[in-house]
Structure 1
């Protein structure tokens, strides 16, 4: 009829035929989807509901009402006759059982399907319908017969015919769980002063059955209100009908303790600030890598950084493992910037790395990684400071900032760093990281065409480093007596690390040596081939008196003699 067609059109649904239009009309009227099958097309005159994997059939497909053949996943819930699938449950009927102009017998279905099952199937097939939209959000399981009777009545009135019989398959009845609600609890939750009578009256107006039991009441959630599951849901229903604008604002009475300071987060934030002051820019990378990235930088198969955890469903081959080191990601960032003609590249990242230890959970550790590159330009008046010492100085500034004592730089054997310009960073003889110059051949593998390419890298285990940061800074009083500063410049074999000599000076047995530092490293004119000149500054001070020149000279001479004997070097003249 015309009235039915117009009402459907106003709701955005096109008219198909009288039977299908009636099922759509009932859908809009009651919010419950129905489906009409041509009964003469149902083989065996009976239907069943099953997933394709329980039927023993493989590669099941069905032509749906939109005339598209769809291959359905094995766990898809289908409606079958005795031979074939005739509908995708809760979503769309099959073309092989549609109602058309030749239909004389109708099988009308009114069913309830689990929202999760319908949503999963709808997403996997990429198929959304008016029915799936309703079933995904939940329908009233107790309203099936009402919707069915309404549709049958309209079909009889409009199309004529005889209603044959009703088949009701409801094996396990769905009984809502009663909720025990305390009046006092509702008022406390909402901040109201509602009486028992007011609460019960509100629920009555919402057609939510409730029984008064003295201090509390029992709520029986209607089958149409699957969202009412606990006390908070009942309180929400009462509040929205009572009126949110009528609920007065109150200050929380609960005492909230002060938040505890997280030492680790505070230190990490300070480290970020410290390294940013040195001109570094923070990068944030994905925590993924490929094993090929370890091959490029020459990490051997026996290295623990090869113990990577594979990702189950990686987006790409390059992101198929969790990172065991930050270095490959930083090299990628460097190359990206270098390709865009950036001449001064200083990048750092603070992130976790993951190592497969064979246990249920991986070993996670927080790392600080960095990369430093500055394009060399000729200088007419001053020789550039070597990049290694720049990066080393940056890390030492972090150690100084956090009062970390007992650190040293010892020759490193990291596979991707150039020997002689690579150091392990130790604190109290425990390795916490490394620093060094990237091997030139790695730059060639990355197709970086730059003459005299010098890329400096560092990586520090922050979880280990934080252990050596003191909880409290100890106050040191201002010295009462003056200090005496002496310098020493020695020529030694270039294979001897400066850090070894520095440690010798610091550990020399004397109670008047206050501080030792290196201030010059020289190779060139007047220095023999294979040798280098190192200059150190030594500060002498006594805690008990002012030192005389004779006392300082005596200790200094002994110190010089000790160092020359240990290193086999000579004083620079």
Structure 2
């Protein structure tokens, strides 16, 4: 996000002398530039100008020589003898020099607090500062001598405030710029917006007439440039303007002036060298990215073209990059043998032609590139450079010559160079298309009464040309506003400049009788019940990979492998949309276990995607008008089914160990109970049967849950040992997953009515049946329920036993049965009849024998 240095902004627009970062932020937010952060002043406390009165070298035992100095820091700060004693280890200053002194109480960048302290046998009552200590540069070899840094000694006085002198006391405002307003990535753009907000006088320094030296016209001997874009993206050439200028005889040792370093660093950029700093400075100032080449390392002509297969480039960040055929390149000869890539157009230059410490002749590039081309290249190579940020948002195509002239002027002034009269300007830009606007449209869309004069005045204020004598206006947007393409965008500008606060806030009246749908109430009830049962709800990403499906051991023909592949996945290693919840939920459980949380009970309710083979492709719908019913039907037919599932994973201890006992590990029964709880909350009866083939469950400890019509809606049980091993989960981990949408669809929709409570006492009977070991307990339970008849209130399995007493291949299942009548107290005959019925049904259905 752009950072705003106040005195730099003041070169474009009039600012009040007492303007603070807070007030600046308040002014900008009125026109849509929101405050991101206010960075505090770099230095606080008493930082003053000092004159060195005495300097005494003192050799130390460690071989180092320090200087004991007496420094005049002004009558207000001097001691009784008219100076302060300061120890300094630098040797690049002398008696009489004017320096910067941080007195006790000063806080320098990095939170470095200055205090009087005893060192080398003296009390050092402050510190004489270097450039690096002040945060204005990286030079730490010696003290900052103000007269050598370009300050006039006649303007300096001991005791003078050095914070104001060096510009270190200003807060820096960082703002948030929306993608459609790329012009605000410059001081020129922000100043314009400040003028819109406050009415302050704005001087557009991006116009040629406002330059001290207007840019000259192109000459026949300008550096040759060719645009050879045989494969434009979306039918638009990648480059429509390319300005070249040459500056010769620059002093390679010429430093970047401190004022420019301070502004660059305050704006968030590091000072590098004069030529590079000047191009960055002009980019920040006007919004036009520029590039400086070492002229001796570039051969004419420059060719702007797309990459060819196999080409590579080492960029300025020393990264070797494989180029894509859609990348737009700057080269110094046509494609083929001998073609040399100089950089990625609009993104980053190459190392082969960069300006070095020996460069004396510089070729300046100021071009205009297609935003989409630059955006795709920057993302393809993961290079969000400052240039790319501006080009992909839209740069003023009329700005290139002005920006290049600014660079030339600064290099001549600061580097001692000479501007070459040769000027290149390849220009195929076209003017912005006019937009027809009904002057009453802002009023009709927003509900605020804007007069025709207000609409016209506002559009002219932002730089538009407005024609038309009646209510139909013909508006031509300014070159720096490529986002203004239709009437609605012009309406937004009118509203923004006139003030969003003029729009009344009117809330729509809520219609009675609305609320959660039955399905939404069921989902909330299921989530609440699982949470009350001890499970924690999580939200996992719906993106998975083939490796995730392999880890679950899903067979090749499993419907859960029929996934939908994303055209533009967030992560290359997870390009598929999940077809079930467990594939992502198990990864969540694995991650928690790997971080030491070995006892896990989590659940998730979410959608899965179930594409159908041979489904029609989604049609491309029109943008400027409502699609037809047929087009909407075709779109709906192309969208895959997205049912909502509920799944859970239980690993480790279900009940912790403690003084009360040994605890208990979670097992298949806990997963099955959770699945039954879901069905109970939905209000659907499900039957439970064994399933020996479905992965990722254990073949002998997995239950299939089905609706009364036999439709399987889910599974629950212990996970397969190989799946547990591959995911590094605790042994015997369990899981469940149900199709919640199918369960909801199976409900009758009738309101649930409470069962009447009987006032008569209950009768209890216990049964212990011996059955074959392979008989499911659910089948025995069903037999007990059927045999008990209408008097049954509850049947519960409370014991399972195997051993010699019941015989090999047998097991004993003990059930507690509670009986109750609604209209009477049960008699002994009633209880006896129920008992006989249960024993008979168990024998007939599952071959059960009542255990003696």
Structure 1 residue 164: Cα displacement: 5.9
- Which residue of 2 is the match for residue 478 of structure 1? 756
1:135 counterpart = 2:415: no
Which of 426, 435, 452 is equivalent to 2:716? 435
Instruction: Please give the residue correspondences for 1:477-496 in structure 2 after superposition, counting only pairs within 5 Å.
Output: 478=756, 485=763, 487=765, 489-493=767-771, 494-496=773-775
In structure 2, C-alpha distance between the alignment counterparts of 1:298 and 1:25, rounded to whole Å? 59
The CA distance in 1 between the partners of 2:581 and 2:277, in whole Å, is 62
Partner Cα separation in structure 2 for residue 550 and residue 380 of structure 1: 43
In the alignment, which of 507, 526, 531 is matched to residue 811 of structure 2? 531
Measured after TM superposition, the shift of residue 51 of structure 1 is 1.3
Please state if 1:520 is matched with 2:798.
Answer: yes
Deviates more, 1:2-11 or 1:191-200: 2-11
Aligned partners of 2:721 and 2:365: how far apart in 1? 74
CA 1:243 to 1:41, structure 2 compared with 1: closer, same or farther past 3 Å? Answer: same
The answer on whether the counterparts of 1:344 and 1:373 sit within 8 Å (CA) in structure 2 is: yes
Aligned to 1:571: 850
Aligned to 1:238: 494
Q: Which residue of 2 aligns with 1:59?
A: 311
**Residue 840 of structure 2 aligns with which residue?**
561
SS at match of 1:371: strand
TM-score after normalising by structure 2: 0.53
**Structure 1 residue 284, shift from structure 2 partner:** 4.0
Distance 2:593 2:507 in 1: 58
Aligned ranges for residues 162-241 of structure 1 at < 5 Å? Answer: 163=421, 169-170=427-428, 173-183=430-440, 185-241=441-497
Q: CA deviation at 1:178?
A: 1.3
Unpaired stretches in structure 2, ≥5 consecutive residues? 1-249, 265-270, 616-638
What is the rounded CA distance, in whole Å, between the counterparts of 2:493 and 2:756 in structure 1? 70
Q: 1:120 to 1:348 in 2, by over 3 A?
A: closer
2:525 to 227, 245, 270: 270
The 3 A distance-change label for structure 1 pair 462 and 125 is closer
1:410 to 669, 672, 689: 689
Residue of structure 1 aligned with 2:746, choices 468, 476, 486: 468
Aligned-residue offset at 1:223: 1.7
CA pair 52-263 structure 1, distance change in 2 beyond 3 A: same
Kindly state the Cα deviation for residue 409 of structure 1 after the two structures are TM-superposed. 1.5
Aligned length: 553
Q: CA RMSD in A?
A: 5.1
Aligned pair partner of 1:117 in 355, 365, 373: 373
Of the three residues 607, 613, 617, the one matched with 1:358 is 613
Change (3 A) 1:268 1:359: farther
Select 1:281's aligned residue among 516, 536, 546.
536
| Unaligned segments of structure 1, at least 5 residues | none
**1:76 maps to what in 2?**
327
TM (norm. structure 1) is 0.74
Counting only pairs closer than 5 Å after superposition, residues 289-308 of structure 1 correspond to structure 2 as 299-307=554-562
CA shift, 1:274, in A, is 0.4
Higher relative contact order (CA 8 A, sep 6+): 2
Kindly state the Cα deviation for residue 431 of structure 1 after the two structures are TM-superposed: 1.4
Distance change (3 Å), C-alpha of 1:173 and 1:500: same
**2:529 equivalent to 1:250:** no
> 2:206 aligns to what?
none
Q: Work out whether residues 490 and 571 of structure 1, in 8 Å CA contact, stay in contact via their aligned partners in 2.
A: yes
**Per-residue deviation, 1:141:** 2.2
Provide the rounded CA distance (Å) in 1 between the counterparts of 2:556 and 2:422: 76
Q: Any conservation in 1 of the 2:787–2:834 contact (CA below 8 Å)?
A: no
Residues 123-179 of structure 1 show CA distances to partners (whole Å, capped at 9, x for unaligned) of 555667775554344222244556667888999999778846776542x63332313
- Whole-Å Cα distance in 2 between the matches of residues 113 and 500 of structure 1? 74
Structure 1 residues 4 and 263, CA gap change in structure 2 (3 angstroms): same
SS at match of 2:715: strand
